[in-house]
Amino acid sequence: MSSKFNTRKLVLAAMFLALALLLPFLTGQLQSLGNALSPMHIPVLLCGFFCGPIYGLAVGFIAPLLRFVLFGMPPIMPIGIAMSFELATYGLVSALLYRTFGKKPWSVYVSLIGAMIAGRIVWGAARYILAGLSGSEFGFQAFLAGAVLNAVPGIILHIVLIPIIVLALKRYTED
């Protein structure tokens, strides 16, 4: 790999991390809107598509933790830690599936949906483990509410917006 190739991916990953830190400010005045639209997820998923699995995993894991350190949100326990595992999964799985299926227009949707499903499952597992460690409860109803029902606006936004961005920018970032 050339240093130009690595430098480009590193710069893109840094940009996606910065976007993950800043996009939640767009919905910051209304926490329920931010929770519903999940703006931090968008740059992490894009990082997986454009930078690959390692950068996607790293940006996804770091973003919620760094955002907590810098801005105090999301609350680190249990939300921030569970989000770190969820977003790391998004970045990793979106990249792996996109590479596996070939970089075709239909594979963007398959990779995105696969990553979103895997990330939600990992988030639920992390919340369940963290609840057990803290002595609280996190049952299947809480999982369904947090991973699916409350997330429908964000899921729709991501399924509409991310493929448009990936397909529009694909020609500028070809390996």
Q: What is the mean pLDDT of each run of 10 residues along the chain (175 residues)?
A: 77 97 83 78 97 97 97 92 97 97 93 97 90 85 81 92 94 62
Domain 3-28+37-172, CATH among 1.10.1760.20, 3.30.420.40, 2.60.40.420, 1.10.3210.10: 1.10.1760.20
Asked whether the CA dihedral 165, 107, 45, 95 is positive or negative, the reply is negative
How confident is the model at residue 158, as a pLDDT? 96
How confident is the model at residue 48, as a pLDDT? 98
**What global pTM score does this model have?**
0.91
How confident is the model at residue 129, as a pLDDT? 84
How confident is the model at residue 136, as a pLDDT? 85
Rounded Cα distance between 69 and 163, Å, is: 31
How confident is the model at residue 32, as a pLDDT? 67
How confident is the model at residue 149, as a pLDDT? 80
